[in-house]
Amino acid sequence: MRTTRRTLLALAALPFAAAAAGEDALQAAIARLVGDAPIIDGGITLRTPPVAENGGQVPVTIVVDSPMSPADHVTAIHVFATRNPTPYVADFRLTPRLARAEVQTRIRLAEAQRIIVLARTSDGQVQRAVAEIRVTTGGCLS
């Protein structure tokens, strides 16, 4: 009885443990990318559908609030999908030649998850936006 209950508890905890391990790896990847720069929430508009019918083609629009001047512009936008087998989706490099810090792309999502977008500015700041997306059919990543 005791063993059974313990086993059940362990089994119940498994998916969470796996998810937590994935999140840890992702946090480590983000930490390597941004170094010791503090991450500030906000300054980014992240447009995603709340529910993606097809996880293989999920439209994502990222707009960072930036004048895109030579003195003050966004230099990079990093996109992460927290529960994909390989979470780092794309790395965009921007220059002040762009009229706005806006990128539209289409991404794959294996399952319902959070999207994390980081934007790095020319003065070394890192901004973050997060969106939750539900997925009807996974994006055949595996």
With a CB cutoff of 8 Å and minimum separation 6, the contacts of 91 are 76, 77, 78, 79
How many residues does this entry show for the chain? 142
Q: At its nearest, how many Å lie between other proteins and the CB of residue 113?
A: 11
Which region, judged by CB under 8 A, interacts with other proteins, from 15-23, 26-34, 44-52, 55-63? 55-63
Cβ neighbours of residue 114 closer than 8 Å, sequence gap 6 or more: 81, 82, 83, 130, 131, 132, 133
Contact (Cβ atoms closer than 8 angstroms) between residue 136 and residue 91: no
Which listed residue (44, 74, 109, 119) binds other proteins by CB under 8 A?
A: 109
Based on the shown chain and the rule CB under 8 A, indicate whether residue 135 belongs to the binding site for other proteins.
no
Quick note: the x/- pattern for other proteins over 73-102, rule CB under 8 A, is ------x-x--xxxxxxxxxxxx-xxxx-x
Q: Does 137 bind other proteins (CB under 8 A)?
A: no
- Using CB under 8 A as the binding rule, whether residue 58 contacts other proteins is answered as yes
Q: Which of 104, 132, 136, 137 touches other proteins (CB under 8 A)?
A: 104
Helix, strand, or coil here: 18?
A: helix
Give the Cα separation of 88 and 30 in Å (integer): 9
Query: Given the complex with other proteins, which of 34 and 89 has the nearer CB atom?
Result: 89
Interacting residue ranges for other proteins, rule: CB under 8 A: 56-58, 79, 81, 84-95, 97-100, 102-109, 139-142
